[in-house]
């Protein structure tokens, strides 16, 4: 057993941990830093895995956040392919699966999430792609040759993006999900149904209001039976039904958890020497209330902020993170609480194509989605932060 002492340790070598390095170095130029990650790859961006890598807008090497020289220059040790299994806050130690221990002064938990698995017969068959990592992308890209067929299980962010990517790559694509339209937790009905129709126009077979019942091998292919009685044959199956936050390590360490790891406005956990950021952090957002957000901008902004606070900044996190997507020719940026159960108001320049969808609660803007309008996130944040009610007429043309 080896005991490694560090000033700062981040578990989960992803965007949040990489950003934490920048935050730490803004305030502490010399303290030793260790990033431990279960994946074999250094920190990379996940959004291109289902977006720009398929369109050709980015190449595989472009997704890495920094080259090795960055980590060397900032005195960062990377331990990749290493899974941390134990946390002892009282001793300020971590232990990995190989039995090595690491001592820290300040710790960041940025362990991300694990794809939810199907709980149906065949949900654990080899070859099913639970899309999440760059390795998943590599395997899917290798198998996704034109003329083959793919079944996408799930109609949310990942499912809708991968369906568009595979259809553009020349595959026959079928989608199945329980909602009545794509991304139904975010898109209001009119927009969601319009986009679902566009997917069908692009040649995607969309099966709404249905779920898979079982999956079987059919030679080299798959046979999926659905709740409605349909049988779908496909060469590939991609599952995108959400993630579960990786909070087991926090629980092992006795930290306060709920729907994620509970943190203060300073991103500090119930242990004053341990911070959390990204997918796992449930934080008390000042404007919208306690939230846990599973998007890239949140991971990066929280990671950097946590790094600064680990190094002594003591600053509350006040950012309102945004997210974005590209679905064939339809792209959007969204910010705030974009829950389709809210009252929505659409200000279209071109209906269901270009404009802004506002999400309202008790007369206040809680979120905004800018459809085929880009660079407007800060303007939307101002509306969300605005106190008092706002009349519908004031929103017409408020963001252009």
Per residue, what are the HEC states of 304-371? HHHHHHHCCCCCCCCCCCEEEEEECCEEEEEEECCCCCCEEEEEEEECCCEEEEEEEECCEEEEEEEE
The residue assigned the tokens 């149906």 is: 120
Q: Which two tokens stand for residue 188?
A: 């209001």
Please give the Cα distance from 394 to 392 (Å, whole number).
5
pLDDT of 1: 46
**Which H/E stretch holds residue 395?**
helix 392-395
Walk along the chain (400 residues) and give the pLDDT tens digit of each residue: 457 799 999 999 999 999 999 999 999 999 999 999 999 999 999 999 999 999 999 999 999 999 999 999 999 999 999 999 999 999 999 999 999 999 999 999 999 999 999 999 999 999 999 999 999 999 999 999 999 999 999 999 999 999 999 999 999 999 999 999 999 999 999 999 999 999 999 999 999 999 999 999 999 999 999 999 999 999 999 999 999 999 999 999 999 999 999 999 999 999 999 999 999 999 998 889 999 999 999 999 999 999 999 999 999 999 999 999 999 999 999 999 999 999 999 999 999 999 999 999 999 999 999 999 999 999 999 999 998 888 888 999 999 8
Are residues 223 and 250 located together in one domain of the fold? Answer: no
The model's pTM: 0.95
* Phi/psi-derived region of residue 211, left when phi > 0, alpha when psi is between -120 and 50, beta in every other case: beta
Closest CA to 4 of 37, 35, 43, 41: 35
**Residue 142: which domain range?**
117-239
Task: Give the position of tokens 């900032």.
Answer: 74
Residue 166 lies in a domain: yes
Q: Are residues 296 and 373 both part of a single domain?
A: no
**Residue 102 lies inside a defined structural domain of this protein:** yes
CB count within 10 Å of CB 56 equals 8
CATH code where residue 288 lies = 3.50.50.60
Tell me if 320 is assigned to some domain. Answer: no
Q: What is the full DSSP assignment across 56-88?
A: TSS-GGGGBSS-HHHHHHTTEEEE-S--EEEEE
Domain assignment present for residue 317? The answer is: no
Q: How many domains does the chain fold into?
A: 3
- Dihedral, CA atoms, 13, 79, 77, 92, nearest 10 degrees? 80
pLDDT at 22: 97
Domain boundary among 199, 221, 239: 239
Considering all CA atoms of the chain, what is the largest pairwise distance in Å, rounded to the nearest integer?
67
Q: Is there a contact between 210 and 226 (Cβ–Cβ < 8 Å)? A: yes
**Which of 239, 258, 290 finishes a domain?**
239
- Report helix, strand and coil shares of the chain as percent, to nearest 5: 25, 35, 40
Are residues 166 and 205 both part of a single domain?
A: yes
Q: Is 231 within the bounds of a domain? A: yes
**Domain shared by 104 and 206, yes or no:** no
Q: Note the Cα 337 to chain centre separation in Å.
A: 15
Q: What is the CATH number of the domain that holds 340?
A: 3.30.390.30
In a domain, 316, yes or no: no
Q: Are 138 and 178 part of one and the same domain? A: yes
Looking at the fold, whether 94 and 54 belong to one and the same domain comes out as yes
CB atoms within 10 A of CB 102: 23
The answer on 123 and 106 residing in a single domain is: no
Would you state the torsion angle of the CA atoms of residues 229, 230, 231, 235, taken in this order, to the nearest 10 degrees? Answer: -140
Query: Are 17 and 101 members of one domain?
Result: yes
What is the H or E stretch that residue 272 is in? none
Q: Do 108 and 122 fall into the same domain?
A: no
Are 122 and 235 in the same domain? yes
Q: What is the pLDDT of residue 2?
A: 57
Report the DSSP beta bridge partners of residue 114. 244
- Angle formed at CA 151 by CA 150 and CA 155, multiple of 5 degrees: 125
What are 284's two structure tokens? 């008390």
Query: In the structure encoding, which two tokens stand for residue 69, read together?
Result: 């020289």
pLDDT at residue 392, as a whole number? 84
Contact yes or no for 252/109 (Cβ under 8 A): no
Q: Which of 89, 90, 101, 100 is nearest to 274 (CA)?
A: 89
End-to-end alpha carbon distance in the chain: 60
Q: Do residues 233 and 305 share a domain? A: no
218 in a domain, yes or no? yes
Partnered with residue 176 across adjacent β-strands are 153, 207
Q: Tell me if 318 is assigned to some domain.
A: no
Question: Look-up: residue for tokens 């339209």?
Answer: 181
Are 125 and 231 members of one domain? yes
- CA 239 to centroid of chain Cα atoms: 15
Rounded alpha-carbon distances, angstroms, from residue 35 to 128, 210, 245, 255, 379 = 30, 42, 19, 20, 35
Question: Rounded to whole angstroms, how far apart are CA atoms 308 and 301?
Answer: 11
């Amino acid at each position: 057993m080896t005991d490694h002492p560090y000033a700062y340790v981040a578990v989960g070598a992803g965007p949040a941990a990489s950003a934490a390095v920048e935050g730490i170095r803004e305030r502490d130029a010399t303290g030793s830093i260790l990033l431990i990650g279960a994946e074999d790859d250094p920190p990379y961006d996940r959004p291109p895995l289902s977006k720009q890598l398929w369109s050709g807008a980015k190449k595989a090497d472009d997704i890495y956040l920094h080259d090795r020289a960055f980590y060397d220059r900032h005195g960062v040790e990377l331990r990749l392919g290493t899974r941390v299994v134990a946390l002892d806050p009282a001793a300020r130690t971590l232990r990995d699966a190989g039995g090595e221990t690491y001592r820290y002064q300040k710790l960041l938990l940025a362990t991300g999430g694990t794809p939810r698995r199907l709980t149906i017969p065949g949900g654990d068959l080899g070859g099913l792609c639970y899309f999440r990592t760059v390795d998943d992308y590599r395997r899917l890209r290798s198998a996704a040759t034109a003329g083959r067929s793919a079944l996408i299980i799930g109609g949310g962010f990942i499912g809708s993006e991968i369906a568009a990517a595979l259809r553009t790559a020349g595959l026959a694509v079928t989608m199945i999900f329980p909602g009545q339209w794509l991304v139904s937790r975010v898109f209001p009905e009119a927009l969601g149904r319009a986009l679902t129709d566009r997917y069908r126009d692009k040649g995607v077979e969309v099966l709404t209001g249905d779920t898979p019942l079982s999956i079987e091998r059919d030679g080299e292919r798959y046979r999926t039976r659905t709740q409605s009685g349909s049988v779908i044959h496909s060469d590939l199956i991609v599952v995108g039904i959400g993630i579960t936050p990786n909070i087991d390590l926090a629980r092992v360490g006795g930290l306060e958890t709920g729907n994620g790891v509970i943190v203060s406005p300073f991103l500090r956990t119930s242990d004053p020497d341990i911070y959390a950021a990204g997918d796992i952090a449930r934080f008390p957002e000042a404007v919208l209330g306690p939230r846990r957000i599973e998007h890239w901008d949140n991971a990066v902004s929280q990671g950097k902020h946590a790094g600064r606070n680990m190094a002594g900044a003591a600053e509350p996190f006040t950012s309102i993170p945004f997210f974005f997507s590209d679905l064939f020719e339809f792209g959007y940026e969204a910010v705030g609480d974009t829950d389709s159960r809210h009252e929505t108001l659409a200000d279209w320049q071109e209906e269901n194509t270009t404009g802004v969808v506002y999400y309202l609660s008790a007369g206040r803007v809680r979120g905004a989605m800018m459809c085929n309008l880009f660079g407007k996130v800060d303007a939307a944040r101002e509306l969300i932060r605005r106190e008092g009610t706002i009349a519908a007429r004031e929103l017409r043309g408020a963001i252009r």
